[in-house]
Every structure is written in C-alpha cells, then in structure tokens.
C-alpha cells in the first residue's frame, strides 16, 4: 500500500488507496463522466447494461470563476445551470453507493490559455 499523506485519513480513504495501489498495472478501472447533474449518460448505460458505473466523474463548471454571464453562450450557461450543486450531488452519490468520485475542474485553464495565446508569436 502507498504511504498516506494525511495521518487522519478515514478507513474508507485508506481502503480506496489500497484498492488503487493493488489494481495499478494489473487492470483497468473504467467509469463515466457526467456532463450535467441530470446524468443522462448514466441512465443510458443502465438501460443497456442493467448496471451503473461505480466510478463517476462530476463536472465542476458551475463553480468556475471563468464563467461570465454577460459573454457566455446560451449552451454554456445551460450547462452551468444544470451543474448546480454538483459537489453535494457527488457526495450524496458516493455515500449512497460507495462509488469512486472524480471531479473535473478547469477553473483557470481558459484564462491561462487566452493569456498564453496573446503572448504567442507565429
């Protein structure tokens, strides 16, 4: 098992780290990223397989300071709106299923990209 950096890690956190350590190099763990909280992707997978992935990615777009309501597209604002309460949804799901949560966070990337692009010369 890997060394745990947090001496106060819960037993569940230790068990997850142990599982990931034991699986590394031996198997592939797959899951599904969800675009919005309605999670239509999960419904589709369940309708085809009868099962739900126990590794689920959640979109943190609604928490991003990069979103400006005045210049964001309607599609962007819809996605932001549909991702409200993502953290609460992820925690509730993890507690109910014992599944593994991944979070997709791109807070500063857009601004960094734009800043880099302005300074590039071709």
Q: How confident is the model at residue 81 (pLDDT cuts 50, 70, 90)?
A: confident
15 and 57 both lie in a single domain: no
DSSP secondary structure code for residue 36 in this structure: S
Looking from the CA of 14 toward its CB, the CA atoms found within 13 Å total: 8
95 and 43 both lie in a single domain: yes
Tokens of 120: 């590039």
Residues 16-73 have pLDDT tens digits of 999 999 999 999 999 999 888 889 999 999 999 999 999 999 988 777 777 788 888 8
Q: 111 is in which domain, residue-wise?
A: 31-119
DSSP-derived secondary structure for 40-81? HHHHHHHHHHS---SEEEEE-GGG-TT--TTTS-HHHHHHHH
Domain count, the chain: 2
24 and 44 both lie in a single domain: no
Q: How confident is the model at residue 122 (pLDDT cuts 50, 70, 90)?
A: very low
89 and 79 both lie in a single domain: yes
């Amino acid at each position: 098992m890997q060394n745990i950096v947090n001496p106060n890690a819960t037993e569940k956190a230790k068990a997850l780290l142990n599982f990931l350590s034991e699986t590394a190099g031996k198997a592939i763990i797959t899951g599904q990223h969800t675009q919005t909280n309605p999670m239509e992707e999960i419904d589709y997978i369940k309708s085809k397989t009868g099962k739900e992935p126990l590794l689920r990615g959640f979109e943190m777009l609604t928490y991003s300071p990069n979103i400006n309501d005045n210049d964001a597209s309607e599609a962007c604002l819809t996605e932001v709106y549909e991702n409200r309460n993502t953290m609460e949804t992820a925690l509730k799901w993890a507690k109910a299923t014992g599944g593994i949560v991944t979070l997709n966070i791109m807070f500063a990337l857009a601004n960094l990209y734009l800043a880099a692009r302005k300074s590039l010369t071709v």
